[in-house]
Amino acid sequence: MSLPTAPPRTMSTAAICVAGAAGLAVAMGIGRFAFTPLLPLMQREGLLSADDGAWLAAANYLGYLLGALGAARVPAGPRTLTLFALLGTALFTAASGWFTGLPAGLLLRFVAGVVSAWALVGISSWAVPALARRGRADAAGWVFAGVGLGITLAGGWVWLFAAQATSILWLQLGALALVLSVLAMSQWPRGATAAHPPPARIGKTSAPHGSWPLVLCYGTLGFGYILPATYLPALARDLMDDPRLFGLVWPVFGLAAAASTLLAGRALRRWHRLHIWSASHALMAAGCALPVFTRSGLGLTLAALFVGGTFMVATMVGLQQARALSPTNPAPLLGRMTAAFACGQIAGPLAALGLARLPLPGWSGIELTLLLATLTLLASAFWLYRFHVLLETRDGHPRLACAD
C-alpha cells in the first residue's frame, strides 16, 4: 500500500515574479548583454578589434536563434530547463574570463546564446500563463523587468570595477549570475505549482493567414535595437576614454528597460497594443539616429533611454498581439516571430561588418547600419500605426484588417 503524497505547494504571485525576474536578469541581463559594457574595456586591453566584437555578437545571436527554435525539443519541463540554462549561463560567463582569443570567444558566446534562449522560453512559458490564470496578467511586467534590472546590475558592476582586468570582471559576473540563479530557483521549488494548467487545445499548425507583416515588423525590431544594445558603450568610449563616464550609458539603458515594462501595463489600459508597438518603433528609430548625428554625451544618453525604454515594451506587445491573433494555438506565429527577431539580431552586426567595407569616407559601418535601422524602424512604425490587427473569423482564418 503506497503512502499518500502531499499536494504540490502553490506559489504566491510574489514568488512567481521574483523567480521570473531573477532568472531573466541572469539569462538576458548577464548571459546575453554583459558583453556590451565589457566590449570597450576589452578593446582598450587589446583583446578584441571592432570586427571581432561584431563576430562575437553575431555568434551569440545565432546561438539565441537556435536555442529558441530548439527549446521545445529539449526533454525537460520548464523548471528543469530553466535550472540547467541558468547554471550554464553562470558557467559560460565565468569561462569567458578564463579563455581568451576569438575561437574560444565565438564558442562561448554561441553557447551563452543557446542557454539564454532556453531560460527565456522556460520562464516565459511558465510565469506568464501562471500569472494570467491568477487574474494577475498585469504582474508580468515585474517578471520582464528582470531583463532591465539584470542589464543595470551587470552594467553597474562593470562601471564600479572598471579598473580591474576584464578577465576578473567576467569571473565576478559569473559568480553574480550563480547567486541570482540560486535566488530564482529557491522561489521556484521542486514540485511547486503556480496554477493548474487548462486542458490542452489542439489547433491548426500554421500561422494565421496574412500575419507576415507582423513577422516582418518583429524582425525589424530585432534588427533595430541590436546595434545600440551592442555598441552604445563602445560609441561612448569614442567620445570619452574614462570608463567612469562611458560606462554609465549601459546602466541607463537597463534602468529604462526595467521601468518601461512596469509602465507598459498602464499604457495598455488606454491605447491599443499596436499603437504602443508603433510608438516604440518610432522612439527606437530616434535612438538609433541620435548616435549618428549628435556625437555628444547627452545624445548617447538619450539614445540609451529611447532604445532601452522601448525594446522590451515592443517585445511584450508584439508577443501579446500574436496571441490575440491566434488565441487557440499561437505557437506557429510565435515561432515565426521569434525566428524573425533572432535573424534581425544576427543581421545587425553582420551588416555593420559589410557596410564598413563601402568606400564612404567619414562613415563607419556602425553608423551606416544605424541609419538603415532607423529607416526600417520608421517604416514598420508607420505600418503598425496605420493598421490594427483584429481577430476576425472568415472561413476559419483570422485576417489583418484596416484600422480605418
Q: What is the pLDDT of residue 205?
A: 53
Go through the domains of the chain in sequence order and give each one's CATH number: 11-192 (1.20.1250.20), 206-404 (1.20.1250.20)
Q: What is the pLDDT of residue 179?
A: 96
Model confidence, pTM: 0.84
Q: What is the pLDDT of residue 262?
A: 84
Q: What is the pLDDT of residue 68?
A: 82
3-state secondary structure of 10: strand
pLDDT digits (tens, 9 = 90+) for 84-102: 999 999 999 999 988 878 8
Closest CA to 327 of 216, 203, 211: 203
Contact 118, 69 (CB under 8 A): no
C-alpha to C-alpha distance for 176 and 182, rounded to whole angstroms: 10
pLDDT digits (tens, 9 = 90+) for 171-184: 999 999 999 999 99
Distances in Å between the alpha carbon of 400 and those of 26, 83, 210?
37, 39, 6
Q: What is the pLDDT of residue 131?
A: 84
Question: In which residue are the cell numbers 533595430 written?
Answer: 224
**Any alpha helices (H) in 71-204, and if so which ranges?**
78-95, 102-133, 140-160, 166-186
Given CA atoms 13, 17, 20, 22 in this order, what sign does their dihedral have?
negative
Residues of the chain with confidence (pLDDT) below 50:
1-7, 195-204, 389-404
Contact 29, 148 (CB under 8 A): yes
Contact 280, 261 (CB under 8 A): no
C-alpha to C-alpha distance for 11 and 22, rounded to whole angstroms: 16
In what helix (H) or strand (E) does residue 49 lie, and over which residues does it extend?
Answer: none
CA angle 345, 55, 361 (to 5 degrees): 90
Q: What is the pLDDT of residue 197?
A: 45
Closest CA to 228 of 179, 317, 301, 132: 301
